[in-house]
Amino acid sequence: MKRMLMSIALVLSTTATFSAVRLPAIIGPHMVLQQKSTVKLWGWSAPAEKIVIQPSWDTTTYTVVAGRGARWTATIQTPAAGGPYTIKIKGNNEIMLDDVLIGEVWICGGQSNMEWSADQGLKQAKEESPNAVQNKIRFFYVPKSTSATPQDDVHARWVVCNPQDMLHFSTIGYFFGKDINAATGSPVGLINSNWGGTPAEVWTPSEVVDNDMALREAADKLKPTAWWPHVKGEAYNAMIYPIVNYSIAGAIWYQGESNVGTHHAYRKLFTSMIDSWRKAWNIDFPFYYVQIAPYAYGDDHINGALLREAQTRAASHPKTGMVVISDLVDDVKNIHPTLKKEVAGRLAKYALAETYGMQGFVYKSPVYASHQVEKGAIRISFDHLPTTLKTSGGAPTEFYIAGADKKFVPAVAKIEGKTILVSSKDIKEPSAVRFGFSNTAIPNLFSAEGLPVNLFRTDQ
């Protein structure tokens, strides 16, 4: 009888241990919750266990009962930016989350140019490190991982921005968050989920790729490497899906170099990826991204330009925006331009203008709008040009012109107000113009406000 009672006690003790309320890693101390929103808190417990949630920012108590699958999800209302607060979560056990801030939450995604930090020798990050004592900026660093199926959780934790952790965090992400915090005054939570070398397919749910012939064929052309995944959906499953319940303000993205060889499918792939993320979060959040920089992609002289053109066309997708960085490159043989602070600044201005409605920012690069032939020349007009054009020195560079034979030759370009007049003494009847349309072109043409003019071609 005594042995039986001991066995029953052991079973009850084990059951109590297993039924403890647990939370995913992204819900924890030092986190930032999206302000003025209905946000989700979720976790695991015993089936049918009653969970009581009490945030300290008001007197509301939220109650939810776990389902048969031993999982529970609660929705709570967040106030305007502020904190720190606490959140008490009580079931059979009690969890107290302290130092919780309410503010703006952004995902920082992509491949190596988003991932790079002082760990890779970035001078700007090393110089900034002593200043990175930023209590209102919080980091959540998703570790590199893959999975063939969607996962529930990641191994990470929220940390308060500090000089040591900043050295290992995305440099673009950090400077972006610093700018958003400085301009809005709101705390900023940054979710670092990126992986150098990865093509966009690995960040896209596999069914999205599999259900589209063009995307599937492009994915099949990806070549395996020893350093990063190439299988569709595997990074999404392990590094994005576990956090899709967590409310965010938006995403910033820097990726595309690994898709240069399949540029023809990139616009569709990229916008499909964006749509799949928005569907998973159930919100059309803003998505701001960086056009890849000029770089010498082997012997081919145009695939990089074609990828940048695909990114340009993707910018017509709802609630997206692209920043051009062709001027922030000092070595076209280095695929990792070092001026990350300036890239972050352009992304931040886009977000401050479009997401936060702030005035006074010129944040869009001029882009080709139309052209017309005029007596042996072609006049180019632009969108996103508030005043006029300028160069960083001398006549505009990287213009080429062609006749009906489509043989492009270097052209003479002249700024005339908001337009450019392009011509060549060798082309009497011009039919097409290209600007900056090569892998390594670094043009000297800017808006008067200092943003580089985007590459374009008038031919197809």
Q: Using one digit for the tens of pLDDT, what is the confidence trace for 408-445?
A: 999 999 999 999 999 999 999 999 999 999 999 999 99
What is the reported pLDDT for 460?
85
Tokens read off for 76: 């709570």
pLDDT in tens, 73-115: 999 999 999 999 999 999 999 999 999 999 999 999 999 999 9
Q: Residue 337: pLDDT above 90? A: yes
Q: What DSSP character marks residue 22?
A: B
**191 strand-pairing partners:** 107, 140
Cβ atoms within 10 Å of 77's Cβ, excluding its own = 13
Q: What residues contact residue 328 under an 8 Å CB cut-off, 6+ apart?
A: 293, 337, 339, 342, 343
Give the position of tokens 């039919």. Answer: 431
**383 strand-pairing partners:** 367
Q: Residue 333: pLDDT above 90? A: yes
**Got the DSSP string for 83-125?**
EEEEEEEESSSEEEEEEEEEEEEEEEEESHHHH--GGGT-HHH
All domains of the chain in start order, with CATH: 2-98 (2.60.40.10), 103-354 (3.40.50.1110), 367-457 (no CATH)
Q: Is the separation of the CB atoms in 91 and 175 below 8 Å?
A: no
DSSP element (H, E) containing 3: helix 2-18
Q: Cis peptide leading into 84, omega within 30 of 0?
A: yes
Tell if the pTM clears 0.75, that is, is over it. yes
E-state strands within 5-81: 32-34, 38-44, 50-55, 62-65, 71-77
Cα 355 to chain center, whole Å?
Answer: 14
Mean pLDDT of 187-214: 98
Q: Is the separation of the CB atoms in 296 and 332 below 8 Å?
A: yes
